[in-house]
Amino acid sequence: MRLLFLGDVVGSSGRAAVYDAIPKLRARYDLDFLIVNGENAAGGFGITEKIFNELIDAGADVVTLGNHAFDQKDTLVYIERCPQLLRPLNFPKGTPGKGAGLFKAKNGADVLVMNAMGRVFMSEIDCPFRAVDHEVTACKLKRGADAIFLDMHAEATSEKQSMAYFMDGRVSAVVGTHTHAPTADDRVLPNGTAYLSDAGMCGDYNSVLGMTTDEPINRFITKIPRGRFEPSEGPGSVAGFAVEIDDKTGLATDCSPLRSGPGLRAIEPPFWTTGA
């Protein structure tokens, strides 16, 4: 099974890059399943129903969120009618929407997708470890699902790595999001779970985490806000995480970053490009 995840989409630059890339990536790599993190898609803060639908229409199977899940207030309403839109599952009980779902891949496999949010240097929230453990216990790999994927939206690398080892052998892949900076630690853990600390962002890399540089620099120097953060609108790049999953075990056999566009060194998954 070929699964691809695309990191945090930031603003109009990220949206344009992703809308253009998804159909091409699905065709080039004959993807079975594609997930996108869309929590910064609407002006850098949250996601609208229109943008969500555009991501699905472009070819995404699931859109995950994070700490900005409800920055666009209408998300509180429309998320209930969008089963392919997942907010962190460890939000307090009663929060609209859901944090996990079982979805059908192109090859017929049932894929459990989860979105969890970390607590280190983040807002107070329920325990992500207990929340993820609950979902995986209820829908075990190769019993309830053919593949299991976790988007771990967190600030601290230590928390992301701890989650990955906690889930090693129980899920197909754990990928970190939120920091918008792609990392180089892609690997398959000892018990078969693919891992990457952060997939990076889809957006303009001539920026500070996808935002124009002036206001972030100003706040570091003066500690006085002069305006709001605005997404940088230069040419967008795409960054993500490719995972090859064994159909028999549901565990990863290989993984690799996938990156293209200005500001990034191009990387293609070698296990998908040989002979392409």
Torsion sign over Cα 217, 152, 121, 155: negative
Is the per-residue pLDDT at 55 higher than 90?
yes
Candidates 86, 156, 84; CA nearest to 115 is 86
| Residue 270 exposed, middle or buried by CB count within 10 Å (0-12, 13-18, 19+) | exposed
At the top level of CATH, which class does the domain 2-268 belong to?
A: alpha beta
Tell me the two tokens of residue 55: 């991501």
Compute the C-alpha angle 115/71/162, nearest 5°. 30
* Confidence label for 273 from pLDDT (cuts 50, 70 and 90): confident
**pLDDT reading at 182 higher than 60:** yes
- Among residues 68, 153, 178, 180, which one is catalytic? 68
pTM of the model as a whole: 0.95
Both structure tokens of 203: 């957006």
Convert the pLDDT of each residue in 73-98 to its tens digit: 999 999 999 999 999 999 999 999 99
Residue pair 197/7 in contact (Cβ under 8 Å)? The answer is no
Mean pLDDT of 43-47: 95
Please confirm, yes or no, whether 68 is among the known catalytic residues. yes
State the residue for tokens 């806000």. Answer: 225
Using CA atoms, how far residue 270 sits from 100, 103, 187, 246, in Å, is 30, 27, 14, 16
Question: Which residues lie below 8 Å from residue 229, measured CB to CB, with a gap of 6+?
Answer: 44, 211, 212, 215, 216
pLDDT of 274? 62
What is the per-residue pLDDT across 115-157, written as a single tens digit (0 to 9) for each? 999 999 998 899 999 999 999 999 999 999 999 999 999 999 9
Q: Find out whether 133 and 82 touch, Cβ atoms under 8 Å.
A: no
Please state, in angstroms and as integers, the Cα–Cα distance from residue 237 to each residue in 158, 182, 265, following that order: 27, 12, 10
Percent of the chain with pLDDT over 90: 96
The percent of residues in the chain predicted with pLDDT above 70, rounded, is: 99
> pLDDT band at residue 276, thresholds of 50, 70 and 90?
very low
Per the prediction, the chain carries an average pLDDT of 96
User: What's the rounded Cα separation, in Å, for the pair 229 and 212?
Assistant: 7
Residue 275 predicted with pLDDT over 50: no
How confident is the model over 44-63, as a mean pLDDT? 97
